[in-house]
Structure 1
């Protein structure tokens, strides 16, 4: 409420304007009131944004393309590294789908470690520490849904993953399908807005070893997705065939496009860092848009996930918006 001093000064100003211009007092008061009403009626609340886009709130999880960070924990300038940004910076940048490899800790096989092929080649720390960073980020971003795809090359039990998620304090965020322990049909996935409203803002997939009867929130990747070939060395990305699971039908499955380029040196494949800008372009030969168009011609729909290296290079978020019609 305005102070008495403010009211008196406003009244004095109106009287002075009246004397100087000859405008009637009633007209000035009417104009002042009209302007105040106009300002009040034009002030609106911004629509809620889910994963940084208002239009995503009403989109089903299975009907949206997300660009994801391949090997998200392996950060640095060395040949074995796949990303330039730490995981929380990847999330800040706009990435909401993270993929990571898990292995046994070489000194304690009860600990799940994030390692690239071998812990002696690249060791990015424990899964628990990684999950804690994601939990802290989710705590500060209440309108975002993060997806996590983990590989299980050393065949940990799913209960061991559950223990690690609990220790990291992130299990409370995990999405459990209404169909549990059965598979959730592709056309019954909730929208991003519904996931946020339910507090289920972490969607977890495991490539091998999931058992939703035992741990309901760790979902079987290949029950829900098929993948295109990985380890690609052809910069035109000419292949969108189903690589995993073998002989799978695309019907009823979402799908992941492995759009990260490798170069082979002495029989060893490493990320093609020098071509990241072209590989991660939105359009053009060998771009994200180019390979997705090829896949769309085969399956009649866009991919649900496009995994890339070096998410900060090229136009990955532009490509994501383009594929989602934003």
Structure 2
């Protein structure tokens, strides 16, 4: 039999359609299976973002053994151990005022590199881990215009993952579930403490429109309080909340992270633990914290405490 070119095209089309019909269910099954795990737990997929407790890394970029450094392991290692909320301080570079650096109070004291480099590190993690939602809280110590932050996010490429709320501020009951955020590809939530302007940059959200915070620079190892520190005079109603559960020690009038107490401070239970302070907070606000910020996240039982607070 002699096959015409039309016959060959018909045969190839039938074969291609047959292959797609066989392959599509497998692809659909793979997508469905992936959506069953969110931030490492199946239980989180159906839970709204505003009803999840995250243990977070306070001053996540300042890594080392010096007094002003708050973490022992770098950001990639923090993400790999399960931390999904990262806080960092930003300031203008002393060398180039067009560049944002991660600096502790002053770039003369501690400079952990550019914001863009930091964001690229987080993007690398998001690229490789499609079922993870990460939150970033930045401080704006130099009152930098929001467009400069946008430039760093765009240059790093991480803005493609940014979550944009349907209204602003988004009511607590209107947050999507982690599963929805993952399926929509909006897996990075960004907050800025001062200077946010969603009319200019719609994905960098005003921290204090969404959260209140407990006091920081705490030197009481029992962490017996959970009062509202910022924003001043705020009502807890309608806001998520951040518990600053990192212990400082006062050395000649200067407060520095208490590295030696980290294992007990970051314990899941016991006096002065994550669980103990969270219980105090829950008794005041009738809900668990949304974020518990820690120094030295690799010490103690941060992820165990997170699981307990989420009831998983």
| Residue 186 (structure 1) aligned with residue 172 (structure 2) | yes
Q: Choose the corresponding residue for 1:196, options 169, 178, 182.
A: 182
Q: How does 1:277-296 map to 2 (within 5 A)?
A: 277-296=263-282
CA displacement, residues 190-245 of structure 1 (integer Å, 9 cap, x when unaligned): 00000000100100000000011110000000000000000000000111000000
The alpha carbon displacement at 1:46 in A equals 8.4
Q: How many residues align?
A: 280
Q: How does 1:76-91 map to 2 (within 5 A)?
A: 76-91=64-79
| Residue 92 (structure 1) aligned with residue 71 (structure 2) | no
Greater Rg, structure 1 or structure 2?
1
Decide whether aligned partners of structure 1 residues 295 and 222 sit closer, same or farther in structure 2, where only a CA change above 3 A counts.
same
| 2:110 aligned partner | 122
Over the aligned positions, Cα root-mean-square deviation in angstroms equals 0.9
Q: Choose the corresponding residue for 2:235, options 242, 249, 256.
A: 249
Query: Given the two structures, how large is their TM-score scaled by the length of structure 2?
Result: 0.89
| Counterpart-to-counterpart distance in 2, 1:80 and 1:207 | 21
| 1:59 aligned partner | 47
> Secondary structure at the residue paired with 1:270?
strand
| Counterpart-to-counterpart distance in 2, 1:320 and 1:143 | 18
> Secondary structure at the residue paired with 1:113?
strand
| 2:251 aligned partner | 265
> Secondary structure at the residue paired with 2:180?
helix
The alpha carbon displacement at 1:109 in A equals 1.3
Q: Choose the corresponding residue for 1:107, options 81, 86, 95.
A: 95
| 2:293 aligned partner | 307
> Secondary structure at the residue paired with 1:264?
strand
Q: Choose the corresponding residue for 1:71, options 59, 67, 82.
A: 59
> Secondary structure at the residue paired with 2:107?
strand
| Counterpart-to-counterpart distance in 2, 1:248 and 1:80 | 30
The alpha carbon displacement at 1:77 in A equals 1.0
TM superposition outliers: structure 1 runs of 4+ over 3 Å: none
| 1:138 aligned partner | 126
Query: Given the two structures, how large is their TM-score scaled by the length of structure 1?
Result: 0.85
> Secondary structure at the residue paired with 1:322?
helix
The alpha carbon displacement at 1:47 in A equals 7.3
| Counterpart-to-counterpart distance in 1, 2:34 and 2:150 | 38
| Counterpart-to-counterpart distance in 2, 1:173 and 1:125 | 22
CA displacement, residues 257-284 of structure 1 (integer Å, 9 cap, x when unaligned): 0000000101111000000000000000
| Counterpart-to-counterpart distance in 1, 2:228 and 2:89 | 21
| Counterpart-to-counterpart distance in 1, 2:302 and 2:260 | 16
Q: How does 1:37-52 map to 2 (within 5 A)?
A: 48-52=36-40
| 2:206 aligned partner | 220
- Do the aligned residues in 1 keep the contact of 2:35 with 2:131 (CA within 8 Å)? no
The alpha carbon displacement at 1:91 in A equals 0.2
